Structure 1
Amino acid sequence: MDIVTSGVASPDFKTQAEIAEIIKVPERTLEDWRLNHVGPPYMKLGRHVRYDLLEVVAWARDQRHA
């Protein structure tokens, strides 16, 4: 169950491995995207990289081409 604060659900943070599996790309691709500032939004929590699942989904939808 999500923790709810002020009526807003908490973010669902995922690891690089989890996001790679969800969007079906190699982990190395996510690393390259981070280095080139072109991939989904991420955050660093100390030395740990985390992705907010809702932000990754929104980013992926923006990548659609007609």
Structure 2
Amino acid sequence: MDLARDRTWTPDEVARFLGVPKATLYQWRYLGIGPKASRVGRHLRYLPDDVIAWFREQQNAA
């Protein structure tokens, strides 16, 4: 699957990128500790730069 950075990512794409189950993303969102996401209508979407920035923050915190 093409994970182009010029469009928003779906939860499936973010889960694949991070190597975690999609349910983990939803749990992180509920707890307020995951990458920033927004609703587009009823769909959850992520900006690739936000996901990558969040991932880098996790690396620096470790």
TM-score by length of 2: 0.84
Deviations 1:10-66 (A, max 9, x none): 852000000000110000000000111110000001110000011100110001135
Going by fraction, where is strand more abundant, 1 or 2? 1
**Among candidates 25, 30, 35, match of residue 25 of structure 2:** 30
Runs of 4+ in 1 over 4 A off after TM superposition: none
Q: Secondary structure at the match of 1:14?
A: coil
What is the root-mean-square deviation of aligned Cα atoms in Å? Answer: 1.5
Runs of 5+ in structure 1 lacking a partner?
A: 1-9
The structure whose Rg is larger is: 1
Runs of 5+ in structure 2 lacking a partner?
A: none
Aligned length: 57
TM-score by length of 1: 0.79
Percent identity at matched positions? 39
